[in-house]
Amino acid sequence: MARDYYGTLGVSKNATPEEIKRAYRKLARQLHPDVNPNEEARFKEVTAAYEVLSDPRKRQVVDLGGDPLEPGGGGRGAGGGDPFAGFGLGDIMDAFFGAGAGGGGRGPRSRVQPGSDALIRLSMTLEECAAGANRELTVDTAILCDRCVGSGCAEGASPVRCDTCGGRGEVQSVQRSFLGQVVTARPCPVCRGFGEVIPDPCQQCAGDGRVRSRRTISVQIPAGVAEGMRVRLAGQGEVGSGGGPAGDLYVEVEEIAHDVFERDGSDLHCSVRIPMTTAALGAVLPLSTLDGEEELEIEPGTQPATELVLTGRGMPRLRSNGRVDGRGDLHVHLDVVVPTKLDARQTELLRELASVRGEEEPSLSGGGKGGGLFSRLRSGRGHR
């Protein structure tokens, strides 16, 4: 009795070759011994059914009521035959990974390929990063060949089918293995996988459909950018081979170190040196910021390493959506300068000040009740 190959794959007798292949792939994924060791017999049945129904001549035998795998049925014997004979490893690979995974069935690749992205670095000052800038950049990228408009052919010419691969874009070799025929494929060395060749290429682009060009473009850099940030210019990158769509151009910011300010995210830091007299008496000093000159108020009695914060005088906070959300702060670190050389008059004045303040002799802080550390040590030795 003839086997029900259609039922084995779960398809109707009117199923198309694509429907048969799709049904086989689904079952093979479920029943393959590496996935389901207990279903090896069922996997062999499904494989045999696919081999029969994917062959037009064997399928015709089935449709006429015969069995191409039975003795006298146009095929090999069911009992001692190899169910994998004549069955390529590429078919199994196709079932698990899609057409082409086993080395065959890919077909020619398109000559028109998308272009790659391009990157250019732009040096900017801190002031430019804070305010934003409109810059003119010179870029060197591939652009569409204006003579052949991407076709790669000379005027009046057109591509022809590759004789080496017959238009398939690949050449195959067949070897026998325990699974049957193993088909390996590689891109055709003549047409490079396109399936066609250009006998009369464009002289301007040598058949590539694109040429190198140096051009000037305008780019708007938003306020608040920082070192390493990139601005994307869609479609301004490399045009693809065969006149394919261009990639994007990325402008990467390189921030030039500032002479005064040090950046920390959206905050700025700077150091201001003040004389000890200014720290003691206080003063109002001019300070140059990104917004112009500001007044910096030094309180009387300011101590070394004091930090003053000017709110909102830092860098713009640039969010990922390209919008600015407020500004950071400017941190001013005060460095009190103590003179190292004094003339006679200065020395006299400082001694007089020390006398008035009762500061002729230094004292240790933290003495507390009972005297300082050294007096306690002396007292301790006296009681021994």
Binding site: which residues?
Answer: 145, 148, 162, 165, 188, 191, 202, 205
Binding site for Zn(2+): which residues?
Answer: 145, 148, 162, 165, 188, 191, 202, 205
Instruction: Tell me the C-alpha distance between 148 and 156, whole Å.
Output: 10
How does strand 307-310 pair with strand 316-318? unpaired
Angle value at C-alpha 67, between 64 and 70, nearest 5 degrees: 150
Name 25's Cβ contacts closer than 8 Å, sequence gap at least 6. Answer: 94, 95, 96
Let me know: does 278 contact 300? Beta carbons within 8 Å. Answer: no
Instruction: Tell me the C-alpha distance between 382 and 380, whole Å.
Output: 5
The alpha carbon of 302 is separated from its chain's Cα centroid by a whole number of angstroms, namely 50
Match 């800038």 to its residue by tokens.
133
DSSP class of 132: -
User: Nearest to residue 215, comparing CAs of 150, 147, 144?
Assistant: 144
Let me know: does 17 contact 58? Beta carbons within 8 Å. Answer: no
Q: 155-163 long-range CB contacts below 8 Å, 24 or more apart? A: 157/198, 157/199, 157/200, 157/201, 159/111, 159/194, 159/196, 159/197, 159/198, 160/196, 160/197, 160/198, 160/199, 161/195, 161/196, 162/188, 162/190, 162/191, 162/194, 162/195, 162/196, 162/197, 163/190
Q: Which residues of 92-115 are buried (b: 16+ CB within 10 A; e: fewer)?
A: bbbbeeebebbbbbbebeebbeeb
Instruction: Tell me the C-alpha distance between 275 and 147, whole Å.
Output: 73
Amino acid at 178: F
